[in-house]
C-alpha cells in the first residue's frame, strides 16, 4: 500500500469530471486500498479518486469513530434524495476551512463494490453528507463552491497566503 499525494484547492485538476470504471480489477482494488490508507492517514472521513489525481469514479468513506466501517463505492450514483440538512463540512483538499453547506438529509445510493457487484444502501446524517460531498468531487465540484463569491474569494486568499508560508 502507498500514501497518495492529495491535490489542494484551487488546483484546476480538482475540476476534472471523473470517468466511470469499466471493469473492477486488481489495479482498481490496489487504488482503493491506497485511497483508504491515504484517507485514514490524513485523517479524513472520505476521499474521492479525483483528489489523488486519478479521474475514475471511485470514493472511499468511513464515518465511524474507530475506522470500522470502510465503504468503497465504484461508479456511485444517488438514485433518491429527500429532506434537507445543514452541516459544517471540511475537505482534505481545502485544509483548515470549515463551512456550512445545505444538502439532502437522506440519500439512496447505487454503486459497485470492490468485486464489481452492484449494491444499494440508504444513508442519512453525516454519512449522507459525506456521500454527496465525495460524489461532487467526481463531478469536479469542491464544497467551497457552494459558498458566495465573496466567501470563496476570502478562502482563496487565505489558502494562497498559507501556501506561501509553507513553500
Ligand atoms: Ni472533499
pLDDT digit string, tens, across residues 122-142? 999 999 999 999 999 999 999
Rounded distance from Cα 165 to ligand 1 centre (Å)? 23
Q: How confident is the model at residue 163 (pLDDT cuts 50, 70, 90)?
A: confident
Choosing from 77, 120, 122, 134, the catalytic residue is: 134
Note if 84 is an active site residue: no
Rounded distance from Cα 143 to ligand 1 centre (Å)? 7
Q: What is the pTM of this model?
A: 0.96
pLDDT digit string, tens, across residues 47-96? 999 999 999 999 999 999 999 999 999 999 999 999 999 999 999 999 99
pLDDT at 1: 75
What distance in Å separates the CA atoms of residue 163 and residue 167, rounded to the nearest whole number?
A: 6
Average pLDDT, the chain: 96
Amino acid at each position: 500500500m502507498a500514501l497518495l499525494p492529495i491535490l489542494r484547492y484551487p488546483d484546476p485538476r480538482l475540476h476534472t469530471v471523473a470517468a466511470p470504471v469499466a471493469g473492477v480489477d486488481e489495479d482498481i482494488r490496489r487504488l482503493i486500498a491506497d485511497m483508504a490508507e491515504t484517507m485514514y492517514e490524513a485523517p479524513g472521513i472520505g476521499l474521492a479518486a479525483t483528489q489523488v489525481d486519478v479521474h475514475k469514479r471511485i470514493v472511499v468513506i468511513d464515518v465511524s469513530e474507530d475506522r470500522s466501517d470502510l465503504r468503497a463505492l465504484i461508479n456511485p450514483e444517488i438514485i433518491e434524495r429527500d429532506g434537507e440538512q445543514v452541516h459544517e463540512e471540511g475537505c482534505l483538499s481545502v485544509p483548515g476551512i470549515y463551512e456550512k453547506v445545505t444538502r439532502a438529509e437522506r440519500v439512496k445510493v447505487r454503486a459497485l463494490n470492490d468485486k464489481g457487484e452492484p449494491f444499494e444502501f440508504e444513508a442519512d446524517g453525516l454519512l449522507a453528507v459525506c456521500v454527496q460531498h465525495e460524489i461532487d468531487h467526481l463531478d469536479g465540484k469542491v464544497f467551497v463552491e457552494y459558498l458566495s463569491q465573496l466567501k470563496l474569494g476570502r478562502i482563496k486568499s487565505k489558502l494562497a497566503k498559507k501556501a506561501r508560508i509553507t513553500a
